[in-house]
Amino acid sequence: MSKVIENKERGQWGSKLGFILAAAGSAVGLGNLWKFPYKAGTNGGGAFVLVYVIIVLLLGFSLMIAEIALGRNTQLNAIGAYSKINKKWGWVGALGVLAAFLILSFYSVVGGWVINYLVKSATGALKISDANVLKEVFGGFVSSTTMPIIYHGIFMLITLAIVFVGIDKGIEKASKIMMPSLFVIIIILAIRSVTLPGAMEGVKYFIIPDFSKINMSVVLDALGQVFFSLSLGMGCMITYGSYLGKDTNIPKSGIIIPLIDTAIALLAGFAILPAVFAFGFKPDQGPGLMFVTLPAVFSKMPLGTVFAVLFFILVLFAALTSSISLLEVVVAYIVDKWNFSRQRTSIAIAIIIFLVGIPASLSQGVWSNIHLLGNRGFFDTYDFIASNILLPLGGFLLCIFVGWIWKKQQCEDEITNGGEIKFRLKKVWFFLIKYICPVAILIVFLRSIK
């Protein structure tokens, strides 16, 4: 089969907007909707938000441009992109593919929980105001053997259905529906939250920075949240960038995508923290913030069932826009490497990921006594290897590769479309990607493996 036919079959984005929404959807995930509000709640509120936004503008923008440029230049998957420029660096892309595979295996389990809670909300099963009872409900569900696996399978089936169809008709079309819907729902929830009696205390806490709260711990937490929130280091943006045409403005995309991701995170904060404060709950509940605290909040809110359903639809859309990018990273590598059918590859990989995810689900219950790394079960081991080792290591090596290995002129030509696009921050970007970003990521990496 000729190279021309291969490239044609590989797929392209149907529009620039489609790419932006799909890439932003990859970045927007469960971390935006519960981890960001939780991190803000435990790190001084507005102080954390301020540091987070500053880091997004520096780190997020720089890495996003680097990954998209690398993908578009090579028109290949994460492993192929590195290998095409320097054969010795293909293993760095392999770290990203492995990370995407591992993350989706347990991410899909949580996606199944979300679907279950959407069903529970719609049927009124979560009309419980006692957080302790809701905690028992959540614990009882995730620790059971059969139902979480069934919902895990449903989530993977939806993810597979989207990736199976292809880039423009599958991922792009789904993103064009889910991302605008996500924005509308989260804005509705934010308006409802900030207009609750007593909500202003939460609003003030979230937006007014207390500079005395800013310390190295807050900075490092914000740095870690930015890095993981933007889907960097796992090959998603390289893969999505590889489906881009040469007329796309990469610097513009590199700014818009992190801004959309940050806007969703901030709106999530407005949708969650004021409501939590209004009803006297604490914002530092981790996963329980989504599955225990918020259902309790909704049960006390007028039209609470409606808002609960809207919230879990929102969370499901965010989870799916991320999961399809994770599956696509693995599928794209296999299709590019061996020229296999996208459809058969998607089915095979989805089944394997589903099977690998089963121990992650069972580790919440009957297999909770099985430990792999230290005191970690399957779920936490997958998470630790991917989030604490593979992602920061992949991001660090990306900076080294783009900043020091890839020829500067070739990199510059790719980003500026051969000089057609004026990249006024070009010198600043090169300085950040060569010096500041790798040091910052290395700090996160060393801190995360303790």
What distances in angstroms separate CA 354 from CA 154, 267, 329, one per listed residue?
Answer: 10, 32, 16
What distances in angstroms separate CA 414 from CA 17, 247, 393, 406, one per listed residue?
Answer: 20, 10, 24, 11
Phi, psi of 341 (to 5 degrees): -65, 135
What distances in angstroms separate CA 350 from CA 21, 212, 236, 416, one per listed residue?
Answer: 23, 48, 17, 37
pLDDT tens-place string over residues 187-196: 999 999 999 8
pLDDT tens-place string over residues 239-268: 999 999 888 999 999 999 999 999 999 999
Residue span of the structural domain in which 110 resides: 14-448
Amino acid identity, position 236: C
Q: Is 4 part of any domain?
A: no
Name the percent of the chain in helix, strand, coil, to the closest 5.
80, 0, 20
Amino acid identity, position 444: V
CB 403 within 8 A of CB 434: yes
Q: Is 3 part of any domain?
A: no
User: In total, how many domains does the chain have?
Assistant: 1
Q: What tokens does 258 get?
A: 């992190």
- In the chain, what's the furthest Cα-to-Cα distance? 66
- Mean pLDDT by 10-residue block, N- to C-terminus, for the chain (450 residues)? 41 91 92 83 89 90 95 96 96 96 96 97 91 91 97 98 94 95 94 91 90 85 80 89 92 94 93 88 73 88 91 94 96 93 96 98 96 92 89 92 96 93 91 94 80
Q: Is 389 part of any domain?
A: yes
CB 114 within 8 A of CB 294: no
Q: Is 402 part of any domain?
A: yes
- Residue 163: how many other CB atoms lie within 10 Å: 27
Q: Is 6 part of any domain?
A: no
- Residue 407: how many other CB atoms lie within 10 Å: 10
Query: Rounded CA gap, 73 and 139, in Å?
Result: 47
Per-residue pLDDT at 5: 34
Q: Is 156 part of any domain?
A: yes
What is the value of pTM for the model shown? 0.92
List helix spans (H) across 279-303: 288, 294-300
Q: Is 7 part of any domain?
A: no
The secondary structure of 212-251 as a DSSP string is GG--HHHHHHHHHHHHHHTTTTSSHHHHHHTT--TT--HH
Q: Is 282 part of any domain?
A: yes
CATH number at residue 232: 1.10.4160
Query: Rounded CA gap, 77 and 243, in Å?
Result: 9
CB 55 within 8 A of CB 223: yes
